[in-house]
Amino acid sequence: MRHAARTTGMDRGRCSALMKATASGPSPAPPRRIGTPRDPGADLSRVPWGWDLRALRAVEGIRAATAFALVILAHEWLGRPALLYMAMATFFTCLCDVGGPIRFRVPALLAFTLLGAATWAGFGLLREAGLAVVLPLAFAGLFCLGFSRVWGPGATVVGNILAIVLIIAANQPLSGQEALEIGGMFLAGGLWATLLTMVVWRLHPYRPARTAVAECWRRLATLAADQRRLLQAGEASTAVWDAHSRAHRRAVREEIEHARVIVLDLVNMRGRLSLRGSQALLRLEACDQIFGSLIALSDLLEGMRDPARLRAAETLLRVVRPMLVVLADAIETDVAVRPPVLDRAAGRALAAAQGDPLLRPLAEAIIERLRIAARLSTPGGYLPGGPVGAAQAQPWRERVLGPLRANLTWQSAILRHALRIAVIGAPSLALTLDYGAQFAHWLPITVVVTLQPFFAVTWQRALERIGGTVLGGLVGALLAYFVRAPLELAAVLFPLCALAFGARQVSFTAWIAGITPVVVVLMELIHPGHSSWEVAALRALFTLAGGLLAVIGCLLLWPSWEPGRMRRERRAALAAHADYAGAVLSEIIGETPFGGAEAARRAAGMATNNLEASITRALQEPRGSRRPEVSRAILVDSILRRIAGRLSALRHDPAARMALTAVEGAAWRSWITASLRGLAEGEGPVPPRPAPPLEAALLDPLARIARQIELLEGALRRPAAEAA
């Protein structure tokens, strides 16, 4: 079947918007906002717990709500109490579905269904045997479920939900017949949710990939808009441009890597590259290459005083930004942009940079990739339908056993985290079993789902969970107070579930605030004698206590402080930039073809992002901002961003390819890579610079990189105690 992009009336509207935008005047400064996990912003000290409304997934929310609410309505109509357990299993199974390829989701959901049924029935039967039997098994179970995060985010979610099932089951003694019935209902609920989401109501298989790739292009548009804003404001401060690069480069790289995982998973699922798969990969690669060109443009413009070049760059960005937005919309909705309109806008962009020898190659590289993405072209030799090749997955034994072997050491933060969950979770479970309160199980549940391997993430999760619980509890109590009839309560669960599951990726606070009303209304159905305000208050109280226990436990039990990991991330970032510098200079002197440094550029960007994530966690720890190691890491991060920008600018400088001799290039390559690797390993002083290049045009860019390396040496050799 031939897949062709549709051209509709929407296309004409977008093209008209493109023409107006490219001719528009200055754009206002963007409003200040709180960072989100996917877009953390420039300030590494701020916790990224803002709400990302673009992550709202209405259809997924309606699908999960349908699966859950239909079982609840069946319970109300038929009057079968066992259907409530089927509803809970359906609810939990929908929680375990984190998206991605079906070939990974189905095994996870089926495994949860089987293990959940066995856990509920088994611990319900064992409850009568007493705490001496239940607690050791609960300890072992919580440890194994906490350790399951070695297999990635999907396994982490399944492990957390199974831990919740374990805690609820341990609070409910069952006879043999009851255990059999509840286990059967749990199986039925899990299979019903799996059938609905994976077979009956499958979302468009390519839509997640298109959406992810489109979001990458929108991030590029935001980056270009902020570059233009800085030009219009006349910003020449290094600190301002550092903040710009830290915020936008980090967000774009995270978005590109997120989209790459989704697209390659889709390709692997199908085994061969279809036309849609090849288009997604091509557009993603074009986006990444434009990203490199915009990084080079940032380096060129930072501190620039030439009025003519600033005007040309401002015009280029004014034209390119709406082109990026229009292409993002076209990719997401599968609507093509008419080539003549795009060509006219591209002509304006090229004309703006035509007279500048440094801007012109950057403009040409950006426009070339924009045209490729817009026309859905494939470069020569790239045949849709061919074998996947490098995207092949690892054998299942290696996927399962490899992470286990790597983390069976006390140095593993995940191993210590799993033991911490068991040591805190099992006693808190024993306390609730002995206490006997009907809703006391929320205490150990909060402990288990709040604890994280890192202290900074644990206390952030505790605050978000407490705040979301209080907000959602108030909403749920009000609903349960005014809606009394059982059928009406069951009907109210549908929009509540749809909102909660749809906002699942918006933020953790939004998710907890959305799911708490569901719990309150569900408890009103199951235990109609209880006041909804009592249920909300008890949930808030036990959540507060569980959050405090989690934070205190993370502080006292084998804490994994961030500075040690931050030093490792710093060394990895220095080594990655050494590889990037070597790849760029090898390109320039002709030892490798142009494009050979793309993988090294990507690795350097990811390494810097990892360093910044580690710095953020370190700043949230006690005394984090006062540790000299943290200040040193922030300086290293800024310098590496500048080095990466100057390497990108050097790549796109045609004069460098013509002027730098092989001998000069090899000498500078050896010096830069040896210096960065030496700094990464903590070895002796940086060796003297090589002889300056004969061409004066090359002296400034290479000297700027050299000055940054020497500044790095001064920062890393500065006498200061390494804080543990």
400 pLDDT higher than 70: yes
Residue 60 lies in a domain: no
- The total number of structural domains that make up the chain: 4
19 pLDDT higher than 60: no
- Give the Cα separation of 608 and 612 in Å (integer): 6
269 and 209 part of one domain: yes
Q: Which residue, 175, 202, 229, sits at the end of a domain?
A: 202
Residue 393 lies in a domain: no
**pLDDT tens digit sequence for 347-396:** 888 888 887 888 888 888 888 888 877 775 433 333 333 333 334 456 76
At 130, the pLDDT band (50, 70, 90 cuts) reads: confident
Q: What is the pLDDT of residue 43?
A: 58
> Which residues, other chains included, contact 530 with Cβ-Cβ below 8 Å and sequence gap of 6+?
438, 523, 524
15 and 102 part of one domain: no
Residue 400 lies in a domain: no
Phi, psi of 6 (to 5 degrees): -85, 145
Q: Which two tokens stand for residue 391?
A: 């995207």
Q: Which of 720, 652, 646, 640 is nearest to 679 (CA)?
A: 640
Residue 631 lies in a domain: yes
**pLDDT tens digit sequence for 524-570:** 777 666 677 777 788 788 888 888 999 898 888 888 778 888 888 99
197 and 212 part of one domain: no
651 pLDDT higher than 90: no
**pLDDT tens digit sequence for 160-204:** 999 999 998 888 888 889 999 999 999 999 999 998 887 766 665
Comparison of pLDDT for 483 and 463, the residue scoring more = 463
Upper half-sphere CA count for residue 156 (Cβ side, 13 Å): 13
Share of the chain above pLDDT 90, in %: 14
Q: What is the pLDDT of residue 51?
A: 62
171 and 209 part of one domain: no
Residue 92 lies in a domain: yes
pLDDT (mean) for 146-172: 89
At 55, the pLDDT band (50, 70, 90 cuts) reads: low
pLDDT (mean) for 277-296: 85
At 22, the pLDDT band (50, 70, 90 cuts) reads: very low
Q: Which residue has the tokens 């990719």?
A: 331
140 and 152 part of one domain: yes
234 and 326 part of one domain: yes
Residue 594 lies in a domain: yes
- Give the Cα separation of 39 and 241 in Å (integer): 17
At 438, the pLDDT band (50, 70, 90 cuts) reads: low
Comparison of pLDDT for 648 and 654, the residue scoring more = 648
Phi, psi of 272 (to 5 degrees): -135, 155
Q: What is the pLDDT of residue 35?
A: 60
Q: What is the pLDDT of residue 119?
A: 94
- Give the Cα separation of 536 and 513 in Å (integer): 12
Q: What is the pLDDT of residue 506?
A: 75
Q: Which of 597, 590, 705, 607 is nearest to 292 (CA)?
A: 597
Helix, strand, or coil (residue 627) = coil
CB of 660 within 8 A of CB of 697? no
611 and 552 part of one domain: no
Torsion over CA of 225, 226, 229 and 233, rounded to 10 degrees? Answer: -170
238 and 263 part of one domain: yes
Residue 274 lies in a domain: yes
**pLDDT tens digit sequence for 689-699:** 887 776 655 66
- Give the Cα separation of 245 and 230 in Å (integer): 12
**pLDDT tens digit sequence for 248-265:** 888 888 888 888 877 776
- Give the Cα separation of 226 and 222 in Å (integer): 6
β strands within 116-158, DSSP E: none
Average pLDDT taken over every residue of the chain: 79
Q: What is the pLDDT of residue 682?
A: 80
Comparison of pLDDT for 600 and 685, the residue scoring more = 600
- Give the Cα separation of 74 and 72 in Å (integer): 5
Comparison of pLDDT for 291 and 434, the residue scoring more = 291
Give 6's strand partners: 335
> Which residues, other chains included, contact 155 with Cβ-Cβ below 8 Å and sequence gap of 6+?
108, 148, 149
DSSP assignments along 467-484, one per residue: HHHHHHHHHHHHHHHH--
Share of the chain above pLDDT 70, in %: 80
- Give the Cα separation of 489 and 476 in Å (integer): 11
* C-alpha torsion sign, points 66, 72, 75, 80: positive
**pLDDT tens digit sequence for 305-314:** 778 888 888 8
Rg (CA), the chain: 28
Q: What is the pLDDT of residue 74?
A: 84
Q: Which two tokens stand for residue 116?
A: 């959940």
24 pLDDT higher than 60: no
Q: What is the pLDDT of residue 72?
A: 84
Q: What is the pLDDT of residue 525?
A: 72
Distances (CA, A) of 386 to 113, 210, 274, 278, 583: 37, 21, 8, 10, 29
Q: What is the pLDDT of residue 723?
A: 38
Q: Which residue, 202, 228, 255, sits at the end of a domain?
A: 202
556 and 575 part of one domain: no
The whole domain housing 490 covers 414-560
Lowest mean per-residue pLDDT among 6-10, 338-342, 405-409, 633-637: 6-10
Lowest mean per-residue pLDDT among 25-34, 180-189, 384-393, 704-713: 384-393
Q: What is the pLDDT of residue 694?
A: 64
Query: Three-state secondary structure along 197-227?
Result: HHHHCCCCCCHHHHHHHHHHHHHHHHHHHHH
Q: Which two tokens stand for residue 175?
A: 């006879």
344 and 220 part of one domain: yes
CB of 378 within 8 A of CB of 384? yes
Residue 64 lies in a domain: no
183 and 133 part of one domain: yes
Q: What residue spans of 527-627 are helical by DSSP H?
A: 532-556, 562-588, 598-620
DSSP category for residue 6: B
572 and 644 part of one domain: yes
Q: Which residue, 524, 541, 560, sits at the end of a domain?
A: 560
Q: What is the pLDDT of residue 17?
A: 44
Comparison of pLDDT for 442 and 38, the residue scoring more = 442
CB of 456 within 8 A of CB of 49? no
> Which residues, other chains included, contact 467 with Cβ-Cβ below 8 Å and sequence gap of 6+?
509, 512, 513
